[in-house]
């Protein structure tokens, strides 16, 4: 079925049949987080979306090399090469060495990714781990005539590049409009053109993160790391490049320019994929509006806009109910509905094994399966795939209620489809939140039963309960103030 996979390509603005550069193999690069703060929900959506892409491509039999970087240096506060390095600034605020900041928020990011059951990428390179490669690339771009050095910094010459290359192809903007919307250079500016951007930035004396280079002590520009790392691990031309759509006009546009200027390959990326933004009750999610919450706040419900907490799997399920190219709107109502829907889905899957089978099947299971794959093959359309999977849920419940019948062969097809799609491809799983509270609650019910039995002098029953608990690995002990239990 892999022949029919189509992907919406931001570059061509249409759905295209997916044909990898090398038969059976896929190279995919996704721009990862800047680890100067807790992982935010927009990032989480992007990485969950590409996790499904990664999973589905593997499910189709491709060998995928999935590279997702960690930005641990060079990301300035503003896209216009102004302000401080985000990590150095945070390090000063928290009185920590920058790499302590990096460590703290890399761990937080991985924790969130694990909670969401995303697979680790094949390689997770860091910007600081590729300073040499970035310096080499800068040297090559200068040698090719598309960059210039001023006072220890190196800038990419967009004006020159745009004369011979479609600089705005990815964003589909008009170059003149873009120029008119960018502030004019003043006398202080080292840049020659308004759209020029830094490849290498001279370190001010107080800047902590710095490396020696042919242009003196400095650090790489943010856009450069992704060019250097995607080339190193995927080659000069590779299959898929992904990220949030906010990255299109500057970061990804400049990434392409760097790659082209360095290698001379006009199309370094075959398919560009971008995820859409998050909204809250219809409004754009943003820190300044106060309507942005962190994954952890969503899990615990500790944000004024949230009625309660929602489990990571509920949130993942909720996200997959929207297509990755659509905006995704958070509201308590929608999250509550997702919670119910997810529980329904899991309960149905749990029921499959116990379904009684008969001679014939009243539903068309093969068609159902085709519909699910058709949805996934249509640019990873998870909401449509889920709708078909809920048709399967309906059938399972109906067979369980004795209202429909299922042959043994179809039951096995259904089971395989549900397991592969829900667990392997969509990356959902049973919540592991079976907590001590639940054990405590059940145990209390049983100990109360035992107390009643003892009260009516039914010692056979009370001893039986003790023995059964022991079999399960619980030791109980009667004391003056009631019965306590321990896990042995």
Binding a copy of itself by CB under 8 A: which of 92, 189, 207, 211? Answer: 211
- Concatenate the DSSP letters of all residues of 256-272 into one string: HHHHHHHH--S-SEEEE
Q: In the complex with a copy of itself, which residue's Cβ is closer, 267 or 438?
A: 438
By rule CB under 8 A, what string of x and - marks binding of each residue 444-483 to a copy of itself?
Answer: -xx--x---------------x--xx-xxxx----xxx--
Binding a copy of itself by CB under 8 A: which of 21, 25, 107, 367? Answer: 107
Q: For residue 132, give the 3-state DSSP assignment.
A: helix
Enter the tokens of residue 473.
Answer: 């690995």
| Closest distance of CB 118 from a copy of itself, Å | 12
Is residue 404 near a copy of itself by the rule CB under 8 A?
A: no
Supply the DSSP symbol for 6: E
Q: For residue 228, give the 3-state DSSP assignment.
A: helix
Binding a copy of itself by CB under 8 A: which of 438, 458, 463, 470? Answer: 438
Q: In the complex with a copy of itself, which residue's Cβ is closer, 287 or 480?
A: 480
Q: In the complex with a copy of itself, which residue's Cβ is closer, 333 or 401?
A: 401
Q: In the complex with a copy of itself, which residue's Cβ is closer, 108 or 379?
A: 108
In angstroms, the Cα distances linking 345 to 391, 397, 419 are: 10, 10, 11
Number of Cβ within a 10 Å radius of residue 289: 10
**Enclosing H/E stretch for 15:** strand 14-17
Stretch that binds a copy of itself, among 54-62, 76-84, 130-138, 416-424 (CB under 8 A): 130-138
Could you give the count of Cα atoms lying within 13 Å of 288 in the half-sphere of its Cβ? 1
Is residue 443 near a copy of itself by the rule CB under 8 A?
A: yes
Binding a copy of itself by CB under 8 A: which of 120, 174, 302, 370? Answer: 120
Q: For residue 63, give the 3-state DSSP assignment.
A: strand
Q: In the complex with a copy of itself, which residue's Cβ is closer, 137 or 178?
A: 137
Contact between 291 and 285 under an 8 Å Cβ cutoff? The reply is: yes
| Closest distance of CB 356 from a copy of itself, Å | 7
| Closest distance of CB 133 from a copy of itself, Å | 8
Stretch that binds a copy of itself, among 38-46, 155-163, 348-356, 409-417 (CB under 8 A): 348-356
Residues 70, 121: Cα–Cα separation, whole Å? 11
Number of Cβ within a 10 Å radius of residue 160: 17
Number of residues that bind a copy of itself (CB under 8 A): 60
Is residue 423 near a copy of itself by the rule CB under 8 A?
A: no
Binding a copy of itself by CB under 8 A: which of 204, 350, 403, 470? Answer: 350
Residues 133, 233: Cα–Cα separation, whole Å? 11
Q: In the complex with a copy of itself, which residue's Cβ is closer, 241 or 369?
A: 241
Q: Is 103 exposed, middle or buried (0-12, 13-18, 19+ CB in 10 A)?
A: middle
Is residue 321 near a copy of itself by the rule CB under 8 A?
A: no
Is residue 233 near a copy of itself by the rule CB under 8 A?
A: yes
Is residue 308 near a copy of itself by the rule CB under 8 A?
A: no
Contact between 383 and 361 under an 8 Å Cβ cutoff? The reply is: no
Contact between 395 and 389 under an 8 Å Cβ cutoff? The reply is: no
| Closest distance of CB 282 from a copy of itself, Å | 29
Binding a copy of itself by CB under 8 A: which of 94, 97, 424, 463? Answer: 97
Residues 149, 314: Cα–Cα separation, whole Å? 51
| Closest distance of CB 72 from a copy of itself, Å | 9
Binding a copy of itself by CB under 8 A: which of 81, 84, 124, 329? Answer: 124
Residues 208, 96: Cα–Cα separation, whole Å? 11
Residues 36, 98: Cα–Cα separation, whole Å? 9
Give the residue ranges of DSSP H helices in 220-311: 222-234, 253-263, 295-300
Residues 194, 101: Cα–Cα separation, whole Å? 33
Q: In the complex with a copy of itself, which residue's Cβ is closer, 349 or 385?
A: 349
Helix 312-320 / helix 41-59 crossing angle, nearest 10 deg: 70
Binding a copy of itself by CB under 8 A: which of 25, 77, 93, 100? Answer: 100
Residues 103, 94: Cα–Cα separation, whole Å? 13
Q: In the complex with a copy of itself, which residue's Cβ is closer, 3 or 471?
A: 471
Task: Give the interface with a copy of itself as residue ranges (CB under 8 A).
Answer: 65, 97, 99-100, 102-103, 107, 110, 120-126, 128-129, 131-132, 136, 211-212, 233, 343, 346-347, 350-351, 354, 356, 400, 402, 430-431, 434-439, 441-443, 445-446, 449, 465, 468-469, 471-474, 479-481, 484, 486-488
């Amino acid at each position: 079925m892999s022949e029919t996979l189509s992907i919406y390509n931001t570059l061509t603005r249409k759905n295209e049949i997916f044909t990898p550069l090398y038969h059976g193999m896929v190279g995919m690069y996704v721009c990862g987080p800047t680890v100067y703060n807790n992982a935010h929900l927009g990032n989480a959506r992007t990485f969950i979306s590409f996790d499904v892409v990664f999973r589905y491509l593997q499910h189709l039999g491709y060998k995928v090399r999935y590279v997702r970087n960690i930005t641990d240096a060079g990301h300035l506060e503003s896209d216009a090469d102004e302000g401080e390095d985000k990590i150095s600034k945070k390090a000063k605020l928290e009185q920590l060495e920058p790499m302590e900041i990096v460590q703290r928020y890399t761990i937080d990011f991985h924790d969130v990714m694990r909670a969401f059951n995303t697979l680790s990428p094949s390689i997770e390179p860091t910007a600081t781990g590729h300073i040499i490669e970035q310096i080499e690339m800068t040297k090559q771009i200068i040698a090719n005539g598309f960059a210039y050095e001023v006072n220890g910094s190196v800038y990419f010459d967009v004006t020159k590049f745009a004369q011979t290359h479609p600089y705005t192809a990815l964003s589909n903007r008009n170059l003149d409009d873009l120029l008119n919307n960018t502030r004019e250079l003043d006398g202080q500016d080292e840049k020659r053109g308004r759209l020029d951007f830094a490849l290498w930035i001279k370190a001010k004396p107080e800047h902590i993160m710095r490396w020696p280079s042919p242009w003196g002590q400095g650090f790489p520009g943010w856009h450069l790391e992704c060019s250097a790392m995607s080339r190193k691990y995927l080659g000069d031309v590779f299959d898929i490049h992904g990220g949030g759509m906010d990255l299109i006009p500057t970061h990804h546009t400049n990434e392409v320019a760097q790659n082209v200027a360095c290698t001379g390959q006009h199309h370094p990326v075959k398919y560009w994929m971008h995820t859409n933004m998050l909204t809250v009750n219809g409004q754009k999610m943003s820190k300044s509006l106060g309507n942005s919450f962190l994954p952890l706040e969503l899990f615990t419900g500790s944000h004024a806009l949230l009625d309660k907490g929602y489990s990571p799997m509920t949130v993942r399920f909720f996200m997959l109910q929207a297509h990755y190219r659509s905006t995704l709107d958070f509201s308590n109502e929608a999250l509550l509905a997702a919670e119910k829907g997810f529980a329904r889905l899991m309960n149905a899957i749990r029921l499959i094994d116990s379904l009684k089978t008969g001679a014939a099947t009243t539903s068309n299971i093969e068609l159902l399966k085709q519909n699910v794959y058709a949805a996934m093959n249509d640019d990873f359309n998870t909401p449509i795939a889920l709708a078909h999977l809920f048709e399967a849920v309906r059938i399972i419940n109906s067979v369980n209620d004795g209202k429909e019948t299922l042959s043994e062969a179809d039951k096995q097809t259904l089971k395989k489809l549900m397991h592969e799609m829900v667990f392997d491809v969509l990356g959902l799983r049973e919540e592991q939140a079976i907590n001590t509270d639940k054990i405590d609650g059940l145990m209390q019910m049983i100990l109360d039963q035992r107390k009643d039995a003892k009260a009516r002098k039914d010692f056979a029953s009370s001893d039986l309960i003790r023995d059964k608990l022991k079999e399960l690995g619980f030791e109980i002990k009667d004391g003056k103030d009631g019965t306590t239990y321990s896990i042995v």
